[in-house]
Chains A and B, each alone.
Chain A
Amino acid sequence: MNFQTTQAHEELRAKVRAFAEAEIKPQAFLMDKENIFPREAVKKMGEMGLMGIPYDAKYGGAGLDVLSYAIAVEELARVDGGTGVILSAHTSLGTFPIAQFGTEEQKQKYLIDLCTGKKIGAFGLTEPNAGSDAGGTETIAEDKGDHYLLNGNKIFITNGGEADTYVVFAVTTPGIGTRGISAFIVERGWEGFTFGEHYDKMGIRSSATCELIFNDVKVPKENLLGKEGQGFKIAMATLDGGRIGIAAQALGIAQGAYEAAVEQAKERIQFGRPIAVHQGVSFKIADMATKLRNARFLVYSAAELKQAHEPYGMESAMAKMYASDIALEVTNDALQIFGGSGFLKGMEVERFYRDAKITTIYEGTNEIQRVVIGSYILGKAAKDSAPAPVAKRGGETGERKKVIFKDGTAEEKVAALVEALKKEGFDFTVGIDMLTPITQAERVVSMGKGIGEQKNVALIEALAKAAGAALGSSRPVAETLKYVPIDRYVGMSGQKFRGNLYIACGISGALQHLKGIKDASYIVAINNDPNAKIFKNCDYGIVGDILEIAPLLTAALDTGEKKPAGEMVKMKRVVPKAKPAPRKLAVCLGCGFEYDPAKGDPDAEVKPGTAFRELPEGWVCPHCGEGKDKYIEITV
């Protein structure tokens, strides 16, 4: 054992490095600044055979080992962390589940195009309420006979919008936690499958990250990956391997920063000598190099174990955790060596510093990695007080009526909306000042990026006046577009709307925005995208072009000069409650006890989520000792 890569590995490294230096490095600054996805470079990576390194040549892969793949990610990340993760998410997350769990038909249909780089892959697990805890998954795939009907949202999805195929996790059996989750292959372009706006990220800005929105997406039965209920297992197996990719990315980012720092230390003259001669700097470089060597061995060793089909879950967690922890330290020290100039945009170390941060967060936070490592060593701690699955009430803004006017002419839709609002008791002869602070406003008319050019702000102002409302906006409209002052933006941080009527014009419904209006009595949405999330969070909505709707609505609500509104009387909203999903219980005929799968039987070490039929052999009623045969199963 000499802890050396092979000549082939080093040849591959040289090839990828040459590509990265020539094709990516010159673009890296701009890609970071402008959030540009390197489509051309990714295409070339496909042509070079980099998009399917560890997969079988039979399916278009390069047939190389996992270590080769790790080296490729490392080398890309060495010049641009974003490009590194494009390859990592594609290979480890988007492709691996199909290669490992796909049927032959699925492999023929999807794997070949992925391995050859004709298509890009992505992976959708994370949700607003299911981050580290996949058991909180709320995206649901309902069995409709010949297809599944997919509904829900996935957030923070790497390669989102750019990828062609998505491995998506959704609940097929509600109420039993992770064992009710299944995996599906979903294609971009399917009806009802849309993307949220790209996140404005701190780092890895050349990689595309956005929300996936599923609105009644029909997924053919043959696109179920593995069996029903295997989703969680597939996700965990995928993430085990994915950690190697992220570890390699962190390693590459740190390596890039380190190399820049060494160069800077040699070139920068102070007190008449290169700063490298000062121990304060040389010690830093010594530490950085040691940490890098450490991290590299961990990453490569995990890759080797995976290749050899040895257990590698703990080792990949160690590699990911350590490489990303030291990536923060190394990029920090590198920036420190650059001094003030490292703090400026355009400097690689500034970008590396920002790119590094995500690596301690995604593909399992480093805290979760420690949980994983600890459980390998100490065993899994018994869940002593696992909470029962919470029945969710409505969307981000709570239960809403969701009456959407989408048919008919614009005039008809506006008339229907105005009639509905008047029926709810809104009096449009009174109004408030347009500049009333958001937090004190009884009504707000708010604009999002959907209004388009700045000149259209006048239309929204006119509407606000006609509706007797204060003017509001989404965050990007105030912060990025600067159409309105920053104190007009409605969102989480101290700018919550608590009044009676919120009219969202051209607002798509980002999570933060929705949280800021959840106390609104009534939410009205006007948007031309019927799949916009705002429609799932509104009481009334019009699907239509805001530029056409706004003037019509203005005319309909205009009553001339508004009478001043008195003190606000908060309207209570009345919404039809969704019936809770039916759930199964079992009633004991020996004592009347109800066995509730959501609670399990902690005294008998039966975990919450255990269906009655899955109770272990010999289980008896915890209260009277009767056997399972004395129970009646009921659905309530």
Chain B
Amino acid sequence: MYCYRNVTEDLFWVGGNDRRLALFENIHPLYHGVSYNAYVLLDEKTVLIDTVDWAIGRQFVENVTAVLGGRPLDYLLINHVEPDHAAAIEEILLRWPKVKLITTPKAVILLNQFGFAIEPEQIEEVREGDTRCFGKHTVTFIEAPMVHWPEAMVTFDLTNGALFSADAFGSFRSLDGKLFADEFDFDREWIDDARRYYTNIVGKYGVPVQALLKKAAGIVNDIKFICPLHGPVWRKDFGYLLDKYQHWSTYEPEETGVMIVYASMYGGTERTAEVLAAKLAERGVLNTRMYDVSSTHVSYLISDLFKYSHLVLASVTYNLGIFPPMHNFLADMKALNLQNRTCAIIENGSWAIRSGTLMREELEKLKHMEVLDESVTLASSLRTQNLTDLDALADALAASVKKEG
């Protein structure tokens, strides 16, 4: 049975939800599923805009067939060929063999690499600024290289103001019957998933995202719908969404607050992190979050780090180096281009304590990271003689938080 929804006149959402997938991209855990969005435009010509992951292929085909209502499919417009959106292309080609593909030259190369059997005469390559008219609706194309793949583009319907934004403005989480962001309490239910999606998938590419936002600035007043490939469709509150993207893509924290991430083997470092958090609370710093790096998936740590202004890393020394899960967190920060945070360091070890020095080195490789001079070195556990240093660290963090807040 089909399950589509009407976006606006002539435009239909034909995607679906996947709640069985454990790891998105086989790396990021999902607890509330994910939606794969695709859209059909019914004009004088019929246009399918992107496809879906093969996991929901059957639902997708039923939706497309139902919306077309017996009409042939004239065009398949592909904004992004990552297989969570392109996997169902093959099925579309089998069912509607006369369909023409509209996409970028680079997307064609990638489609061939992925092994889709596409005839060259089936393809219409488009570039930035090109337009296509399907009858009532005329669309234009804006290249969006490295948001977050090189072939990506976004498509703007000049007639109804719908922006098909590919992975930009997407989010984890299944739609569960709803479609529009204003059908949820987005800021309560969704923002954390949206942030975790953006920061881990697109986080590295702040510069290309900024470049796309600048290009889109020219049409921003004409945008009526933002139709991403994951998550809800936006038809209002664009300012809220764009503000989040502005922060994330310029690596500006959303909130002044302290994130404490500890790596502890036998509890010594963990207890120190607890004491620090308490000391911060006593100093009026209440917007704090604490995570055990060993039991928290790094995608959550990255996501929160894009949100908060301050980071405390507390790690035991392991094999003369940084505790591996902590090292992995630092490596991910570097991979995702994280920058512009104020950091503090607590190091521990029962002999040859090195993790602090090494973590500082890793942080200083990132851009615009301020590492506070105050730091705490523990030998195995927190003892009375360390309290002066811990207090100094709490004071420095509190002062820094106050300054930024």
Contacts and interface: CB of A to CB of B under 8 A. Distances in A.
Interface in A29-64: none
B141 to A, nearest CB: 16
B286 interface: no
Nearest to A634: B207
B207 A587 contact: yes
Given A572-B389, A630-B145, A589 B367 contact: no
A632 B389 contact: no
B146 A592 contact: yes
A61 to B, nearest CB: 53
A587 B392 contact: no
Nearest to B389: A572
A382 interface: no
Contact of B150 (A569, A574, A624): A624
B146 A590 contact: yes
Contact of B370 (A577, A590, A630): A577
Nearest to A573: B373
A636 B250 CA distance: 11
Nearest to A589: B145
B136 interface: no
Nearest to A391: B364
A574 B368 contact: no
Majority DSSP secondary structure for residues of A touching B? loop
B396 A574 contact: yes
A589 B370 contact: no
Contacts of B389: 572
Contact of A569 (B204, B370, B374, B388): B388
Interface string B202-231: 001101100100000000000000000000
Interface in A361-382: none
B207 A632 contact: yes
Contacts of B375: 572
Interface string A415-427: 0000000000000
A636 B145 contact: no
B208 to A, nearest CB: 6
Most buried by B among A574, A589, A630: A589
Given A589-B150, A589-B211, A591-B146, A572 B368 contact: no
A498 to B, nearest CB: 16
B145 A590 contact: yes
Interface string A275-303: 00000000000000000000000000000
Contacts, number: 42
Nearest to B204: A592
Contacts of B396: 574
Contacts of A630: 145
Interface string B361-402: 000000110100111000000000000110010001000000
Interface in A513-548: none
Most buried by A among B207, B211, B367: B207
A580 interface: yes
A624 B204 CA distance: 17
A14 interface: no
Interface in A548-590: 569, 572-575, 577, 579-580, 587-590
Contacts of B367: 636
A590 B205 CA distance: 11
Nearest to B145: A589
A572 B374 contact: yes
A575 B146 CA distance: 39
Contact of B211 (A590, A591, A632, A636): A632
B373 A591 contact: no
A592 B336 CA distance: 11
A574 B211 CA distance: 38
Interface in B147-163: 148, 150
Contact of B146 (A574, A579, A589, A636): A589
A624 B146 CA distance: 12
Interface string A445-487: 0000000000000000000000000000000000000000000
A591 B106 CA distance: 12
B370 A572 contact: no
B80 to A, nearest CB: 15
Contact of A574 (B145, B148, B373): B373
Interface string A90-120: 0000000000000000000000000000000
Given A574-B396, A630-B145, A636-B367, A589 B208 contact: yes
A572 B395 CA distance: 12
Contacts of A592: 146, 148, 204-205, 208
A590 B109 CA distance: 13
A575 B373 CA distance: 8
A278 to B, nearest CB: 64
A632 to B, nearest CB: 6
Contacts of A573: 373
B270 to A, nearest CB: 24
A590 B368 contact: no
A152 to B, nearest CB: 24
B149 to A, nearest CB: 10
Most buried by B among A574, A577, A580, A592: A592
Contacts of A577: 370
B392 A572 contact: yes
Contacts of A634: 207
Contacts of B204: 592
B205 A574 contact: no
Contacts of A588: 146
A590 B339 CA distance: 22
Interface in B222-244: none
B210 to A, nearest CB: 9
B205 A580 contact: no
Contacts of A572: 373-375, 389, 392
Nearest to A569: B388
A560 B90 CA distance: 91
Contacts of A574: 373-374, 396
Given A574-B374, A632-B207, A591 B150 contact: yes
Nearest to B392: A572
Nearest to A583: B367
A632 B370 CA distance: 26
Nearest to A425: B392
A592 B203 CA distance: 11
Nearest to B148: A592
A579 B375 CA distance: 20
Contacts of B205: 592
Nearest to B385: A569
Contacts of A575: 373
A574 B344 CA distance: 13
B147 to A, nearest CB: 9
A572 B392 CA distance: 9
A393 to B, nearest CB: 10
Nearest to B150: A590
B67 to A, nearest CB: 35
Nearest to A591: B150
Contacts of B388: 569
Nearest to A630: B145
A62 B146 CA distance: 67
A234 B97 CA distance: 71
28 contacts: A569-B388, A572-B373, A572-B374, A574-B396, A575-B373, A577-B370, A579-B368, A580-B368, A587-B207, A587-B208, A589-B145, A589-B208, A589-B211, A590-B145, A590-B146, A591-B146, A591-B150, A592-B148, A592-B204, A592-B205, A592-B208, A624-B150, A632-B207, A632-B208, A632-B211, A636-B339, A636-B367, A636-B368
Top 8 A-B pairs, shortest CB-CB distance: A589-B145, A587-B207, A592-B146, A590-B150, A589-B146, A636-B367, A634-B207, A572-B374
Interface of B: 145-146, 148, 150, 204-205, 207-208, 211, 339, 367-368, 370, 373-375, 388-389, 392, 396
Given A592-B205, A632-B208, A632-B211, 16 more contacts: A572-B389, A575-B373, A579-B368, A587-B146, A587-B207, A587-B208, A589-B150, A589-B211, A590-B145, A591-B150, A592-B146, A592-B204, A630-B145, A632-B207, A634-B207, A636-B368
